[in-house]
Amino acid sequence: MSRIGKKSIILPPGIQSEIKESTITITGPKGKLSYHLSQRIHIQYDSNQLQLYLIKTDKESKALYGLSRTIINNMVIGVSQGFEKKLEIRGVGYRCHMNDNNLILNIGYSHPIIIKPPKDISIQVEESVNILVSGIDKEKVGQIAAKIRSTRPPEPYKEKGIRYSGEIIRKKVGKAGK
């Protein structure tokens, strides 16, 4: 049995939950998110707590049990606090800026890279080398941040590229001359 799935989800003040059949909707000050639960899992609300229960006890149900609890907990955190990922650009001449709502990256290619975020994700640029991706959906925030990083991942020889803030890239020694 999943240890994560057994834990109850405590709803902070100002967060409402609505359960209809197998769909749960969480509403808070930052927005509204919904998730469709598997038929193998039952959810119950009582006194500002959400608790998940298994209907079947096969292997797949146990896997979905912990996953569903984590996704619903991330929804509660997202609508109350939100999520953010910070990225840094390193390299001579590498920079970025915002044009309308699009992120434009100048990172050593012959053309600028344009990234259009979804409507519920916001991107901010600080000092033309720091990027802040924020939103209420943890999965979308991480996906957009990974998409930005994948345009020019950090390379270990000169340490140029786009990296997450705080990410450590081990520098490699180049080939030795004679």
Do the domains spanning 3-80 and 83-164 agree at the CATH topology level?
Answer: yes
Q: pLDDT, tens digit, for every residue of 125-146?
A: 999 999 999 999 999 999 999 9
pLDDT at position 5 = 83
For strand 83-90 and strand 95-99, is the pairing parallel, antiparallel, or unpaired?
unpaired
The arrangement of strands across the sheet holding 113-115 comes to 95-99, 102-106, 113-115
Lowest mean pLDDT, pick from 74-78, 145-149, 174-178? 174-178
Q: Give the DSSP letter of residue 96.
A: E
pTM recorded for the entire structure = 0.88
Print burial letters for 137-165: b (CB count within 10 Å at least 16), e (below 16).
Answer: bbebbeebbeebbeebebeeeeebbbbee
Residue 103 has pLDDT above 80, yes or no: yes
Tens digit of each residue's pLDDT (9 = 90 or more) over 153-166: 999 999 899 999 99
List the CATH code of the domain at 3-80.
3.90.930.12
Domain 83-164 indexed as CATH 1.10.260.30: no
With H, G, I as helix, E, B as strand and everything else as coil, classify residue 46: strand
pLDDT of amino acid 22: 86
The pLDDT confidence band at residue 46, using thresholds 50, 70 and 90, is confident
Domain ranges (residues) in the chain = 3-80, 83-164
Could you give the percent of the chain with pLDDT greater than 90? 76
Say what the pLDDT of residue 177 is.
Answer: 61
